Structure formats: structure tokens, C-alpha cells
Amino acid sequence: MTAAQGVLLRPITMGLLLQSLFLLLLLLLGSCLHTAAAFPKGCYPSEEEGLKTFRCSNAQLTEVPRDIPNDTNKLYLDFNQIPFLPRDAFQDLPLLLELDLSHNAITRIETGAFQGLAEHLHSLDLSSNRLVSVSKDAFSNLKAKVNLSNNPWLCDCRLQELIRAVELVADSSGGIVCDSSTQEEHVGKAFLQVIADTDFCNVYKKTTDIAMLVTMFGWFAMVISYLVYYVRQNQEDARRHLEYLKSLPSKQRRSEESSTISTVV
């Protein structure tokens, strides 16, 4: 190649290079815009202390958002209006370490809502919601420390089983207060203080046993009453029949009696 040809090709090569860089920038920008558009309004990814974080705090959400990056380590859904957690709500987040659901309107948690989080999740905040009663099965196999404070709890056997099934965040137990209770005198008291003196599940078992005994006694009384009625009714029918036989002429009475005896035999 001559020097003249090299001089001519240089501008062409530079032009192609610049065009390639421009197209690459457009692709990157388009990808970023698409990713940002996929996130719900008020949600954004970030990195905190080397952990991939996804924040949706105070984003006016009414459900757990989709399209959360599946490599998220910390997820903040606090200060929203989420009413319940469906089954498999977080199944696509296998690396999640912290989940903040505080200050929502959660009243119900379906069994399996935290399925897939058992291995890594170590912090779950459900404080300041509207939880009244939750099955312990909703937290099955979960090893995370859980904050259940500031909810309108019904203090009963179900809550007692739940508290025994999870590990509470330190110093959060005092915030689990009886908003209602199967025993009126417990209302307004910290639940752990109440169960120090009361075993709700044992009381429930005794109540159930008594109810079963009462039911069985009721059926037994009905059977006895029926048997007594049946015997008395037969006795009355027999008495009436004997009186009828006595009122018949002697020959007809003997015939009726023999007929009755043969029938009995």
C-alpha cells in the first residue's frame, strides 16, 4: 500500500470507528432506559456497603412489585399500602438477605409467601402493619430474625405457636402487645409478659375437651331419653291392648289371647 492510499483510508477508518462507538452508546443508553422504565414509579436500584439494594420506600405500592432484579440482596418495601403477601411473592429473589415490609397495611400472609428465602434471608421486618393473626406455617423453615412489633395482635394459641416458631429481633418482643385477647384482662399487655403466666394452647385444649364432653353427654342423654320414651310407649300400648282384651266376650277374648300368644311365640 502506498503512502497516498494510507492517507485516504485513515479518515474512512476513523469514521467507521466513531460510528461504531456511537451505536454502542445508543444501545447502552437504550438498555438503561428500558431497565429504568421496567421499575415501578418510586423504585430504584443502588449499592449499599457492597450489597445490591432495591428501594421502593414510600412508593404508594399496593402489591409486591414484579421485575425486581433477582440478584438483589436488600429490598425495602416500607411505607407503602401493601395489604397482603401472596404465595411465592419473593420466589425469584434467591440472594435476598434483608426484607423490610414495615409500615404497610398487611393483614394476611399466605403460607409459602417467603418460599425460596429460607437459605439466605437473615432479617425480616413486618412491624407497624395490621396483622391480627398469622399461621406459623407462613414462616416455615425461615431462619431470619423477625420483627412483629406494633401490630394489632389477637393474643391466643395461634400467636403463641407463631412466637415459638420464629426468632424475634432483639428488643422487639416488647412491641408485641395484645390488641385483643381470648381473655379480656390481657388486652394492652405485652404478649411475652402474658404467656409467662398463661398457656393459651393449654387453655384452648381444655376448652376443646370440655366441649367434646358436653357434646357426648348431650348425645348420650338423647339416646337414654329415646329409650325411656320407647319403653313407656310400648308399656302403654300393651296396657291398652290388655284392657281391650278384657272388654271382649270370654270366647272371643280367649281366641284373641291365643292369637296374641302365638304371635309372641
**Domain ranges (residues) in the chain:** 39-197, 199-236
- How far apart are the C-alpha atoms of 104 and 36, rounded to whole Å? 24
- How far apart are the C-alpha atoms of 38 and 66, rounded to whole Å? 9
Provide, rounded to the nearest whole percent, the portion of the chain with pLDDT above 90.
55
Query: pTM of whole model > 0.75?
Result: no
pLDDT value at 209 more than 70: no
Q: Name the nearest CA neighbour of 203 among 158, 152, 151.
A: 158
Q: Phi and psi for 222 in degrees, rounded to 5?
A: -65, -40
Overall average pLDDT of the 39-68 stretch? 93
pLDDT of residue 214: 47
Q: How many CA atoms lie within 13 A of 114 on its CB side?
A: 29
pLDDT of residue 210: 47
Residue 182 and residue 155 in contact, taking contact as beta carbons nearer than 8 Å: yes
pLDDT of residue 114: 96
- How far apart are the C-alpha atoms of 58 and 81, rounded to whole Å? 9
Residue 42 and residue 77 in contact, taking contact as beta carbons nearer than 8 Å: no
Q: Would you place residue 32 in the very low, low, confident or very high pLDDT band (cuts 50, 70, 90)?
A: very low
Long-range contacts, stretch 243-247, CB < 8 angstroms, 24+ apart: none
End-to-end C-alpha distance for the chain, whole angstroms: 135
128-187 residue pLDDT tens? 999 999 999 999 989 999 999 999 999 999 999 999 999 999 999 999 999 999 888 999
Just give the CATH number of 39-197: 3.80.10.10
Strands 178-181, 44-48: parallel, antiparallel or unpaired by DSSP?
Answer: unpaired
